[in-house]
Structure 1
Amino acid sequence: MAKITFRLSLLGLIGSFSLMLGAAGIAAEPPRCPDRARIVMQVLGSGGPELASGRAGSSYLVWVDGRARVLVDSGSGSLLRFVESGAREADLRLLALTHLHTDHAGDIVALAKRSFFNGRSRALPVSGPTGSGAFPAVDIFLERLLGREGAFGYLAGALDGTGGLLELEPIVVPAKINAESSAIQVFDSGGLSVQAVAVRHGSVPALGYRVNIADKVIVFSGDQDGGEAGFWELANDADLLVIHLAIPEQAGPAAKRLHATPSRWAEGIRQANVNRVVVSHLMKRSERNLEDSLDILADGFDGTIDVAEDLGCFPL
């Protein structure tokens, strides 16, 4: 039977501590991840577009030897968590976007602007999906936001590295699902490699990611319906799998076209032989049914299941 771990909210602890120190006129700093000399996955944003329950939009950091190396998603509100975590833009090797909903990519512009105050000498690769319908490919997405004629044209240096801004270098990953869909390497350097595979998130082009460091594997599901065999091949034997539990088991058909139910996640987890699961991207509807959902996930799974909180840390 799976071991299920609830963590006391770090934000709640921070809030109480801040109140105590506030009375003395001292600003409190959030706690930092322990054991950052090891490989650590840190949750920056564990929520969805509601920005409820103290949860920022989806975002995760992979720390290696005390440095933040991979940022997966940059959802609304998560850049504040990035700062609170003690991470530095200069240390990042890759920004991996699962898809272009606001709760996964809403803080890209804020990241570009903040970089002006935190210099970086080389471009930052930004992987993301090809486009379809209302969703542009990641390179066009960045151009529409930050190009000379874009919505934030005054930050156009973010696309060519001028003006003291962090240069964002897009890597477009095929997100069309077909019988030949397979994982694609988007980064490989210095013992760190990252693969991406197309997943189904309704009509939204979307990706899942596998991060390999030394002999450890961390997999990020992103938002998806959980039905793609290619993703579960990517997740096979993962030391840590982050899943997005945005809906309860009894959700309607429209929600199920976008998100996996707990039973669908449970099936894939058992199939992929993962060691540990972190449940994230919690929304009001999934929080209301969280206990039942965790029971479904735990059925037949012998590993550990953790419930994510913003700034929560998971050493490997």
Structure 2
Amino acid sequence: MLHIGAHCIDAGGIPMAARRAGNGGMQALQIFSAIPKYYNDKVGVKPDRVARFVEALEAAGISPDQVIVHAAYVLNCATPDDEKWSRAAAGLAKEFERSSALGVRGVCFHPGAATTGDRTEACERVSEAMRRALATVPESGTRLLIENTAGAGTTVGRTPDEVALMLSGIPADQRHRTGYGLDTCHLFASGFPIAESREALTGVLDAFEAATGEPPAFLHLNDSEGAMGSNKDRHARIGQGLIGATPFGWLLQDRRAAGIPLILETPQAVSEVAEDDATPDPWEVEDVALLRQLAQDTP
């Protein structure tokens, strides 16, 4: 089964995001657990908020195992700056703590940039931040998931080898609590030929699976405004960017798309929603329907 959904607007709180997803006929959801422009390294989640979210998911017909929390954008766990790294690591641990309390499948995060430092050492710093988060949060079903990057500047996590290097720094007895996911816009922008042919796309997925020893734990389904290899992280609606619609059909027919959250992070028709309005975004509803059609029809 394909679990397709979106990062829904959370005006009115994360239970409202779940209601919007449910009203849009989605089977997956992505949210923020706190305002993503801040480190939120001291922000927790109250039990009553957890209860309301779980109740909303149940009403929407969405399994918590098909929910991803997206970590704050400001976290840079790859930086050689000790002060910034310490705060980013603390922020990542709190993200993991909040996500575990919510009982979702995982929290995904951008590993960050090496800035003036060595890329290998930067990947090792990401591993250390992940180890600290794992040590801080009791074991649960929630996983700490690296998201591949578009490769701009000195960001790490673009290649299968870099993602694998970060995961290789996790102790064997904790490795099952971690993993990675792939963003289609990031893959394309970082130079992977996923729009060239079904075989080329399959080869990219194979390379990540071979390097890490496992398939992705989620997929972000985004077309790209930027050209292949542009390193521009600019998302477009499905079929309205330079990837085009057809490769998404290839992707959804791949075995690795089954059973995991398939999340749209595409432009929305309505940017501001009343807190009590549970109407789904019409563009997201259209794109979910298009993806379902592509999964069935692409030759």
TM surpasses 0.5: no
Q: Shorter-normalised TM-score: what interval? A: 0.3 to 0.5
Pick the structure with greater CA Rg: 1
Return the TM-score normalized by structure 1: 0.35
Return the TM-score normalized by structure 2: 0.37
Structure with the bigger percentage of strand = 1
